[in-house]
Every structure is written in C-alpha cells, then in structure tokens.
C-alpha cells in the first residue's frame, strides 16, 4: 500500500467535498433539502473531525481492497471505487430514505459525493500503488 497515495486521496476526497457542498455546486440545493440556511451549516470542528475520521477509513479500506486484488491500473481502481460507492454507500444510505424518512434529494447529493470521491480515489490509488 502506498501511504503517500492514500494521504493524497484523503486530501482530494476533502477537496471534492468542499467543492461539492459549496454554493457554486450543490451547497444551496443540499441546504434546502435539509430545510436549513447555508449559514446554519457552517464549519463545525466536531463534524470536520468526524468527516476526516470516516474519510481516512474509507480511503484505507479502498486501498486495502486494491492491494488484495493485486491489480494496479487506472480502470480497475476507478471501477473498484465505483462498485464500493454504488454497492455499499448508495445501498446503505437508501435505508435512511426508506426507514428514517431522509429526504431523497439529500440522499442523491450525499451519496453522489461519496460515489464520485471513491471512484476518483480508486483511480488515483489504482495507478499510484506501484
């Protein structure tokens, strides 16, 4: 496992999130889907640390799976990230919609972020594990 590549992916995952949830992309739609003003969703240290912790786990698990597969290339990395995103993130988040009443628009925005970030992380890890 290339630890430097994992750290880069963690940073990129955060950058994708910062852009994804920014007002110039989906931040306004996301805050509206939550029924909140964008100002109410400002930076919170507890949320930031929690997000960092979960991102570290996600990227390390992705790197571990790619190591188990033992094939390192751009397409395989991307596909593994995509499969994890669709197979686990979307299906798990869908439970929140079905059983907890989570807004479907929020689900699409949240899950889309993780699927994109995992796919890009997989792509990077797939070509940078050598």
Q: Which of 5, 127, 128 is nearest to 59 (CA)?
A: 5
Cα separation, 77 vs 1, whole angstroms: 13
Segments of the chain scoring below 70 in pLDDT: 42, 129-130
Copy the structure tokens of residue 8: 């880069």
pLDDT at position 20, please?
A: 95
pLDDT at position 130, please?
A: 58
Q: Which of 79, 75, 85, 81 is nearest to 127 (CA)?
A: 75
Q: What is the pTM of this model?
A: 0.92
pLDDT at position 1, please?
A: 85
Q: Is the dihedral of CA 49, 55, 58, 63 positive or negative?
A: negative
Q: Domain segments of the chain: what residues?
A: 3-127
pLDDT per residue over 79-112, tens digit each?
A: 999 999 999 999 999 999 999 999 999 999 999 9
């Amino acid at each position: 496992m290339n630890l430097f590549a994992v750290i880069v992916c963690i940073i990129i995952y955060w950058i994708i999130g910062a852009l994804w949830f920014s007002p110039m992309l989906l931040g306004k739609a996301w805050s509206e889907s939550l029924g909140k003003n964008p100002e109410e969703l400002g930076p919170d240290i507890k949320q930031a640390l929690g997000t960092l912790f979960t991102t570290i786990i996600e990227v390390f698990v992705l790197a571990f799976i790619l190591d188990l597969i033992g094939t390192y290339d751009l397409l395989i990395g991307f596909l593994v990230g995509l499969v994890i995103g669709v197979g686990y993130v979307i299906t798990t988040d869908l439970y929140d919609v079905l059983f907890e009443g989570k807004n479907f628009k929020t689900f699409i925005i949240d899950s889309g972020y993780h699927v994109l970030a995992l796919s890009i992380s997989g792509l990077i890890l797939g070509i940078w594990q050598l």
